Amino acid sequence: MMSTEHTKLAFVLPEYGIHTHFRYVGEFAVALAKEIDIVLVLEKGEAPPDFPKEKVYTQHFHFAPLRFLEMGYTLLSLYVRGYRTQYVHYSFVAGFWGALAGRLEGVPRII
């Protein structure tokens, strides 16, 4: 069994809301947060009610170029803080920045 003692995960969702299909993914993040250290990054919306508020980051900017840079800053800063594993659910921008962080680490390109 894998040790969860030092596992850190950046978990990115486009949004969370009770009326979206992302709800079940947010609920999964809540359950997973009981086992490992997760920071939930939301592009918009509010955090799941049972998720620790200090472990949630919701993007602030609405202007697309600034949102792009904000996501990059957020994911790269989490990467530097030890959140080397990143789960991205339906976000091309976060996927781009996550892949860039992996390449900085020297992770081989996967096709």
Give the H/E segment covering residue 34.
none
Beta strands in 17-88 (DSSP E): 37-45, 56-58, 85-88
Q: Please report, to the nearest 10 degrees, the dihedral formed by the alpha carbons of residues 47, 74, 67, 103 taken in order.
A: -130
* 21-78 tens-digit pLDDT: 667 777 888 888 899 999 999 988 888 888 888 999 999 999 999 999 999 999 889 9
Neighbours of 85 (CB within 10 A): 15
* 74-102 tens-digit pLDDT: 988 998 898 888 888 888 888 888 777 77
Considering all CA atoms of the chain, what is the largest pairwise distance in Å, rounded to the nearest integer?
44
